[in-house]
Amino acid sequence: MSTRDLVHRVEELADLELALLLCFVANEHCLIRIEAEALDSLQHELQLVRPVAHASPALAEHRSCVVIECGSETTLDDFIDGLLLNVPSGNDPTAIEHEHHTESIEAPDSDRSVADVTFQSTTGIEEPRIADVVILKNLNQANQDAQIQALELIRTKRLFTHTSVVTAPKDFCMVIIQSSMGPGLNKHLVWLAHRFGLNHHIFLSHSHDLEDGFPNLENASEWIEDDRSSSSSVVRKSVLQRSKDGPGVTFSEADIQALANESKNTTVTAEVECYLQNVVTFLRMHRAIDGGIDPRATKYFKTLITCLASIHGIDFATPSLVAIAARKIYPYRIILTVPERDRSLQYGSDLAAVEAALQGVTPESVIEDVLAAVEAPL
């Protein structure tokens, strides 16, 4: 398929679909934030977005997805069990995928702390494996052990169980969803992040606005209600089948690989490279940031710029793409300083004046300050 055709299909994607497509093109992971009351809707929307945005219907049937709802009582064993699928050897993965999606969407009020279905083998030997797509809900509320396990899985793509070592799929994607107003990851992980860079292995962050809605979930809900209102219906379609029959934009593995190849061939001129480095430098020197910006973030910064260029159908980076990438890469990584740690206090600044200057500062406002201060090339 031509690049122009791919670009036309990308233009039809909603924001969540676009965020996940970028993760698959870069083969990375993401963090999505939303208001607390809409977390459940976001979870179900992502389960419907996954086959639409990532693969053609034929390939989507062979992609597994699990949802783990974390909490303070979620143990490490519960967390590991939720990541694994027991795939019966010789069984039909398509049937497994249909069963999983039907239960996840039609029973959203399940009281299980670790959401998803455990697949029992009827024929052959069960072989545990990690799901292709893992949606972690409220990871920030889990204990330290579960958070560290999740972040180690992102970093090494390996999971150590009591009996074996399970390797994540090649196209493994972890999507962390949490409240935009809730706490961040455990404070202990701030220290780990500076020493080991664990939480910086998350590729990008995205805040979903409720005004953008949940188009896939709304369509699926209409289909489900139509089925339930028909008393004569005996055979009910799965949600995955509904996505195939209804309108939607699909991307095959070949399409995703084509976009990935285009991103690797993107040209970054010396002027844009200088602009990119100036943004990073200004962020590191900003008075509101504590601990600076890690090098891995800069690597992801460049990767996202080239991925954005590929989905826009161009083979060169532009200053506007640099600004977009900065808003998606850095909010999650910025640790705001406290007034007592402001550098100007070493030179006689008044603490009250520093507190007034830092009042109301957010990671997003810091990024906007830097983008306004750094001159973009013409």
Instruction: State the CB neighbour count (10 A cutoff) for residue 315.
Output: 14
Query: How confident is residue 202, by pLDDT bands cut at 50, 70 and 90?
Result: confident
Inform me whether the pLDDT recorded for 359 exceeds 80: yes
Q: How big is the chain, counted in residues?
A: 378
Which of 309, 369, 328, 340 lies closest to 25, judged by CA? Answer: 309
Which of 68, 183, 81, 71 lies closest to 136, judged by CA? Answer: 68
Give the range among 16-25, 56-65, 206-215 with minimum mean pLDDT: 56-65
142-188 confidence digits (pLDDT tens): 888 888 888 889 888 888 888 888 899 888 999 999 887 755 554 44
What is residue 292's predicted lDDT score, i.e. its pLDDT? 83
How far, in Å, CA of 86 to CA of 83, rounded?
10
- The CA–CA distances, whole Å, from 294 to 60, 76, 277, 289, 291 equal 35, 28, 13, 12, 9
Give the amino acid at 215: P
Average pLDDT over residues 287-300: 89
How far, in Å, CA of 140 to CA of 147, rounded?
7
Percent of the chain with pLDDT over 90: 38
181-197 confidence digits (pLDDT tens): 755 554 444 444 444 45
264-274 confidence digits (pLDDT tens): 999 999 999 99
